[in-house]
Amino acid sequence: MTTEGFVTPIQPPSWSLSDGDVHVWCADLREQWPESALYSLLSEDERVRAWSFAFEEDRRRYLHARGFLRILLGNYLGRSPGSVRLTTGRNGKPCLPPDNRVLRFNISHARVLVLCALAREREVGVDVEWRDRKFLWRDVVAYICSEREQTALSSLAEPVQSDTFFSWWTLKEAYVKALGAGLELPLNRIDVADGLETRFAAPVCDNLTDHRWAMLTLPMGSDYAGALVTEGIPARVRCFQWAWVWGKSGLPDRK
C-alpha cells in the first residue's frame, strides 16, 4: 500500500476509483466558496437543516461541507450534484441508496478544513481535528484513551504529548465512523497505541469484535490532525487538495 501526500491536481483526476484505491479530498473554507450555488445543490431536507443552526458559522460550515460532498459524488458518479440522492445508514451515517452503494464515502470538518474520503466497495471513515493548543485535553483523556494509552501519554513530553493525543483521537473517531457505530462504541475501549503507520484497531474488551480495519494518519500539517480508516488495507491512498476552478455555471468546472 502507498500513501501520497495532499496535492492540488493540475488536471482533474479521472473521477474513477479502482477497487484497491481510496481518494481523500481536502478543501479549505477560507477560499471563495459559491454559497448560493452550493445551496441550490442541497435537498429540501438539507436546506432545512442548514437553516436550523443557531450560529452563522455552523450554518456555513454545514452548507460548504454538504455542497462539497455533492460535487465530489456527482463527479465520481457521472451525474449532476443536485441529482445525487443521499440516505442514512446505521446510526445516521450518510450513504448512497443501495443501487449506488458501490461507492462509499465519509466526510469530516473542523474549523476551516473539510475532508472527504471515497472508495469502492469498502467502508471508509475519516476525521479531522484542529490541534487547539488551549484545549484542556487532560480533562477528557479518560473518556478518549484506554488505560494503556494514558500510561503511554504520561511518559511523553510536550508538545509530543498533546500531538499524540489528537492523532489517536482522530484515529478513533474515524474508526467509529467507518463502523457506523455512533455512540455505541466508547472511544476509551479502542486502543491504537501501537506506533505503526498502518495499524489495526485493537478493542480492549473481549466482547468487542476486531473488524481488522486499517488505520492511517493523514499528513495535515502542524495545526490539524487527520485520520483515515478503511475496510481492509487499500492498495493506494491518493490525497487531493481541492481548488475552485470557475465555470460559466458558477460551479467549479471539473470536466
CATH number at residue 85: 3.90.470.20
- Asked whether residue 230 carries a pLDDT value surpassing 70, the answer given is yes
What is the span of the domain harbouring residue 175? 125-232
- Asked whether residue 11 carries a pLDDT value surpassing 50, the answer given is yes
Q: Which three cell numbers stand for residue 107?
A: 466526510
- Asked whether residue 209 carries a pLDDT value surpassing 70, the answer given is no
pLDDT, average across residues 27-55: 91
Residue 88 vs residue 248, higher pLDDT: 88
Q: Percent of the chain beyond pLDDT 90? A: 51
pLDDT, average across residues 79-90: 89
- Asked whether residue 250 carries a pLDDT value surpassing 50, the answer given is no
Rounded CA-CA distance 126/178 in Å is 8
Under DSSP, is residue 223 helix (H, G, I), strand (E, B) or coil?
Answer: coil
- Asked whether residue 224 carries a pLDDT value surpassing 70, the answer given is yes
Judge if 38 and 138 occupy the same domain: no
Judge if 133 and 48 occupy the same domain: no
| Count of the separate structural domains present in the chain | 2
Q: Which three cell numbers stand for residue 136?
A: 484542556
Rounded CA-CA distance 138/155 in Å is 14
Judge if 244 and 186 occupy the same domain: no
Average pLDDT, the chain: 84
Judge if 42 and 134 occupy the same domain: no
Report CA 32 to chain centroid distance, whole Å. 22
Model-level pTM greater than 0.85? yes
Q: Please give the full DSSP string across 134-201, using - where no structure is assigned.
A: T--GGGTHHHHS-HHHHHHHHT--TTHHHHHHHHHHHHHHHHHHHHT-GGGS-GGGEE-TT--SEEE-
The pLDDT score that the predictor gives to residue 104 is 94
Judge if 16 and 115 occupy the same domain: yes
- Asked whether residue 205 carries a pLDDT value surpassing 50, the answer given is no
Judge if 211 and 250 occupy the same domain: no
Q: How many CB atoms neighbour CB 222 within 10 A?
A: 8
Judge if 22 and 118 occupy the same domain: yes
Lowest-pLDDT range, 140-144, 182-186, 228-232? 182-186
Rounded CA-CA distance 19/176 in Å is 23
Read off the pLDDT of residues 124-182 as tens digits, 9 standing for 90 and up: 999 999 999 888 888 999 999 999 999 999 999 988 999 999 999 999 999 999 988 77
Judge if 12 and 92 occupy the same domain: yes
The pLDDT score that the predictor gives to residue 252 is 52
* Residue among 113, 117, 7, 73 nearest 254 (CA): 73
The pLDDT score that the predictor gives to residue 145 is 93
Judge if 113 and 17 occupy the same domain: yes
Neighbour-count burial of 169, counting CB atoms closer than 10 A to its CB (0-12 exposed, 13-18 middle, 19+ buried): buried
Report CA 215 to chain centroid distance, whole Å. 12
The pLDDT score that the predictor gives to residue 211 is 55
Judge if 218 and 142 occupy the same domain: yes
- Asked whether residue 207 carries a pLDDT value surpassing 70, the answer given is no
Judge if 135 and 219 occupy the same domain: yes
Judge if 6 and 111 occupy the same domain: yes
Report CA 135 to chain centroid distance, whole Å. 21
Residue 89 dihedral angles phi and psi, to the nearest 5°: -105, -145
Residue 146 dihedral angles phi and psi, to the nearest 5°: -70, 170
In order of 41, 110, 146, 153, the CA distances from 159 in angstroms are: 42, 21, 20, 11
Task: Judge contact between 9 and 100, C-beta under 8 A.
Answer: no
